[in-house]
């Protein structure tokens, strides 16, 4: 598949588009969409998911994106993860009949220390945001840490009307077809470039997932560059997409540049 031109600080756009282009269940789900809403970003976005598309769609997408959301103004250095969330949200808002391969559900349990009432809520998600510590760390450990409990001080219990302590546990109740993991490397004006061990396979709620790609961020908070690591489904090989450049890449085993990781349910490959 051909690369994408950098139109001026659009590497964050290219990294998201290139990542999505190689996610087969997603591309297959939108390939028959007939959609012609002139003011929307979605028609040009869908066109850009397919090989050898006319590059006029990239110009159109960048222009309409800047008009639809001031956060993504032309020539502005923006965040790839925020763009991913925005575009996917817009797609499924405008085309609600499409199956959302990225959507899963969190379950939150909050146990009141005073009356032992357990409040359970379920909320949808597109990505799981994971805290990073310093030093080498494994993706599986980050997921385990995400589901560990935390103490809430001054919790207002709706059941017993007390202001007390509570224990909160967050878990993944329903796992998506495509699991996207957002690594929180940006902490204020600082970055955590810890080395992440990228397991080729992970387990989540008894489902097995295979690593299929990543959005990378290079450099620092004030200035940076985005690239994408993508898996070719035909032969399970990997490529590094750096704007126009698309080069073969051996299976990455670790990375200090990974910002968003993509895993796919193995039964869906």
Q: Cβ neighbours of residue 173 under 8 Å, at least 6 residues apart?
A: 104, 105, 106, 107, 122
pLDDT, tens only, 167-188 = 998 899 999 999 999 999 877 6
Distance of CA 234 to the CA centre of its chain: 23
pTM tops 0.85: yes
Residue 41 pLDDT exceeds 80: yes
**Would you call 59 helix, strand, or coil by DSSP?**
helix
Q: What is the pLDDT of residue 269?
A: 46
And the tokens for 113?
A: 């220390």
- Domain spans, the chain: 11-268
Residue 121: band (very low, low, confident or very high) from pLDDT cuts 50, 70, 90: very high
Residue 268's pLDDT band (boundaries 50, 70, 90)? very low
pLDDT at 222 > cutoff 70: no
CATH 3.90.70.10 fits 11-268, yes or no: yes
Q: Which pLDDT does position 110 carry in this prediction?
A: 93
Mean pLDDT of 202-210: 91
């Amino acid at each position: 598949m051909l690369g994408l031109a950098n139109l001026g600080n659009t590497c964050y756009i290219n990294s998201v588009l290139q990542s999505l282009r190689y996610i087969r269940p997603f591309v297959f789900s939108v390939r028959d969409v007939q959609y012609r809403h002139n003011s929307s970003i979605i028609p040009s976005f869908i066109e850009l998911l397919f090989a050898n598309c006319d590059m006029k769609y990239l110009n159109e997408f960048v222009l309409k994106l800047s008009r639809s959301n001031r956060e993504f103004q032309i020539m502005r250095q923006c965040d790839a993860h925020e763009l991913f969330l925005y575009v996917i949200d817009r797609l499924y808002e405008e085309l609600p009949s499409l199956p959302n391969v990225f959507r899963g559900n969190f379950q939150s349990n909050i146990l009141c220390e005073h009356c032992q009432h357990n409040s359970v809520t379920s909320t949808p998600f597109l990505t799981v945001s994971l805290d990073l510590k310093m030093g080498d760390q494994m993706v599986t450990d980050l997921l385990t840490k995400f589901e560990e409990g935390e103490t809430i001080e001054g919790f207002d219990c709706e059941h017993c009307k007390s202001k007390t302590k509570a224990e909160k546990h967050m878990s993944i109740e329903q796992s998506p077809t495509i699991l996207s993991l957002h690594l929180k490397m940006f902490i204020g004006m600082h970055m955590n470039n810890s080395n992440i061990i990228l397991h080729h396979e992970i387990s989540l709620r008894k489902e097995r997932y295979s690593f299929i790609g990543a959005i990378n961020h290079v450099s620092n908070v004030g200035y940076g560059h985005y690239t994408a690591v993508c898996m070719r489904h035909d032969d399970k090989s990997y490529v590094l997409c750096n704007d126009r450049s698309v080069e073969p890449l051996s299976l990455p085993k670790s990375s200090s540049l990974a910002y968003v990781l993509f895993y796919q349910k193995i039964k869906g490959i």
